Amino acid sequence: MFPFNFEWIWDMPHMVFMGGLWYALGILGLGMTYCIIKAAVDAGKKDAGNHVGNHARNHD
Amino acid sequence: MDSAFIPNGVRRCAPGKFLVVLAVAGAVLLWGVYAMLLCWFKGLNQTNMNNNYGFALWIWADLAVIALGGGAFFTGFLRYIIGKDELKNIVNYAVLIGFICYSSALLILAIDIGQPLRGWFIFWHANVHSMLTEVAFCLSCYFGVLTIEYIPLILENRGIDRVPFLHHLGHNMHDIMAVFAATGAFLSFFHQGSLGGVAGVLFGRPFSYREGFFIWPWTFFLFTWSAAAYGPCFTLLITKITEAVTGKKLVKDNVVELLAKISGWMMVTYIIAKIVDTLYWANVTAPSKGLTLMDFYSHNAFYGVWILILEIVIGGIIPAAILITDKGRKSPAARTTAFVLAVIGVCVNRWVMVLQVMAAPVMTFDKWALYYPSWQEVATTILPVAYGVILIAISYRYLPIFPQEPELNPID
């Protein structure tokens, strides 16, 4: 899973396979980090409370 | 008692009735948990698996729930990537059903590996030449995607939504849901395919072995295709069952018909590919291994040609024919029949690709090896059903899963 695992080899199968895994995990991790930080910033704004409850139930 | 947490504009049953449902499903769940603990503490000798059946009922259940849960990725793909806006009215439920299916699949795998304390080895010491490693990676990541898709729904609960941070978190997650949905579609394509690929590369098992493209046998593409085609039928069937249980209309007919139509056409294309694949396998692949089609469907007490007909004709051609016609789609009875047949069809496909593969003799001196699951295997396979009922009951009661419900069921 990591280059420091004893069985790791820098070959194409490892790079494609593990690259795919880390790519997917990276998108999910970065996406969630963005959402959490933005939510903290939004919630910290003075008027944030005014939006709560007025928000449409279905955001779509 | 819990009215402060029930969504606005909808009516729910009395708490007592709700608790009775939870208690009944909970009793079944506990039976499954007991069997699961037996498997964990006493080992896989609690099952009827043997040298012929390294893969058995659990792997069938795994493949079946993953295919049925395919409605989540395909509905999400249609809603967020293709832009079918009407499907916003059913995508929440598709996500919930997908979440239940995939968490169940992971639970079954945790029992099946026999030594769950070493479950992390598949990630840490990954065999990068194994399709099952790819399945483990994609399955786990996709479960993460489904969790991310389910969280905003939880955050819309009336009680939770009052907390500003959680309110904004749910809103932000909605805003970039297309990114998560696209990642989910990517992951699903590969793990659904690799599950089929596992059967297709078994060159020592002529029943499942297939030629293919590059490193992927045709079963790789057929499994992905069938999950996208049949998964939405399961979503629609569970929606229909939920409507029957609650006595309410929860999704408008135009939404159901749209998803049913897309599913029907996907099934048509899939079943044509499946028939071509079967004909090629029966006339070219199997004979090249010294076997004929009837070698796989005779001289045993269970597997006859009927199972091929059940899978392709009754569980494939008939539901597809119903769903692609206007008349069939608009008739609730015909539509529901098509959903049931489609679910049976894909489950039978997964059954034969797991269990008939193991049963069919390979050597001239081999005999058919039939298998009967132990009660522990059955109980742990029923466990996810009870878990699903509980999660659906709780989610339906406290979360706005069906956006059209208040409009379709106005409170006087």
B314-331 pLDDT, tens digit per residue, is 999 999 999 999 999 999
In this complex, is the C-beta atom of A22 within 8 Å of any C-beta atom belonging to chain B? no
Chain B residues with beta carbon closer than 8 angstroms to that of A49: 164
In this complex, is the C-beta atom of B174 within 8 Å of any C-beta atom belonging to chain A? yes
Q: Rounded CA gap, B66 and B188, in Å?
A: 9
**Mean pLDDT within B8-20:** 93
Residue-level pLDDT at B148: 95
**Mean pLDDT within B165-175:** 94
Q: Helix crossing, B15-42 with B375-398: angle to 10°? A: 150
- Residues A34, B168: C-beta atoms closer than 8 Å: no
- Residues A17, B128: C-beta atoms closer than 8 Å: yes
Residue-level pLDDT at A50: 55
In this complex, is the C-beta atom of B375 within 8 Å of any C-beta atom belonging to chain A? no
In this complex, is the C-beta atom of B169 within 8 Å of any C-beta atom belonging to chain A? yes
| pLDDT surpassing 70 at residue A9 | yes
In this complex, is the C-beta atom of B4 within 8 Å of any C-beta atom belonging to chain A? no
Residue-level pLDDT at A51: 53
Residue-level pLDDT at A58: 47
Chain B residues with beta carbon closer than 8 angstroms to that of A35: 169, 172-173, 176
**Mean pLDDT within B3-12:** 90
pLDDT in tens, B60-80: 999 999 999 999 999 999 999
Chain A residues with beta carbon closer than 8 angstroms to that of B186: 24
**Mean pLDDT within B10-14:** 92
- Residues B161, A52: C-beta atoms closer than 8 Å: yes
Residue-level pLDDT at B105: 94
| pLDDT surpassing 80 at residue A49 | no
Nearest beta carbon to residue B167 from set A7, A25, A52: A52
Residue-level pLDDT at B411: 85
- Residues A36, B174: C-beta atoms closer than 8 Å: no
pLDDT in tens, B100-127: 999 999 999 999 988 888 889 888 988 8
Report yes or no: B357 and B209 within 8 Å, Cβ to Cβ. Answer: no
In this complex, is the C-beta atom of B180 within 8 Å of any C-beta atom belonging to chain A? yes
Provide the pLDDT confidence category of residue B2 given band limits of 50, 70 and 90: confident
SS3 B91: helix
| pLDDT surpassing 90 at residue B387 | yes
- The chain-wide mean pLDDT, for chain B, equals 94
- Residues A13, B141: C-beta atoms closer than 8 Å: no
SS3 B100: helix
In this complex, is the C-beta atom of A31 within 8 Å of any C-beta atom belonging to chain B? yes
| Cβ-based neighbours of B224, under 8 Å, separated by 6 or more | B188, B189, B192, B193, B196
- Residues B180, A28: C-beta atoms closer than 8 Å: yes
pLDDT in tens, B24-46: 999 999 999 999 999 999 999 99
Residue-level pLDDT at A56: 45
| Burial grade of A38 (CB within 10 A; 0-12, 13-18, 19 or more) | middle
Residue-level pLDDT at B391: 97
Q: Rounded CA gap, B338 and B329, in Å?
A: 9
Min Cα distance B112 → chain A (Å) is 23
First CA to last CA across chain A, in angstroms? Answer: 38
Provide the pLDDT confidence category of residue A60 given band limits of 50, 70 and 90: very low
> What is the ipTM score, two decimals?
0.84
Residue-level pLDDT at A52: 52
In this complex, is the C-beta atom of A58 within 8 Å of any C-beta atom belonging to chain B? yes
**Mean pLDDT within B288-298:** 92
Closest CA to B206 of B284, B127, B272, B96: B284
pLDDT in tens, B186-212: 999 888 999 999 999 999 999 999 999
- Residues A36, B179: C-beta atoms closer than 8 Å: no
Chain B residues with beta carbon closer than 8 angstroms to that of A43: 164-165, 167-168
- Residues B168, A27: C-beta atoms closer than 8 Å: no
In this complex, is the C-beta atom of A1 within 8 Å of any C-beta atom belonging to chain B? yes
- Residues A17, B88: C-beta atoms closer than 8 Å: no
pLDDT in tens, A11-46: 998 898 899 999 999 999 999 999 999 999 999 885
Record the pTM: 0.92
All domains of chain B in start order, with CATH = 3-408 (1.20.1630.10)
Provide the pLDDT confidence category of residue B351 given band limits of 50, 70 and 90: very high
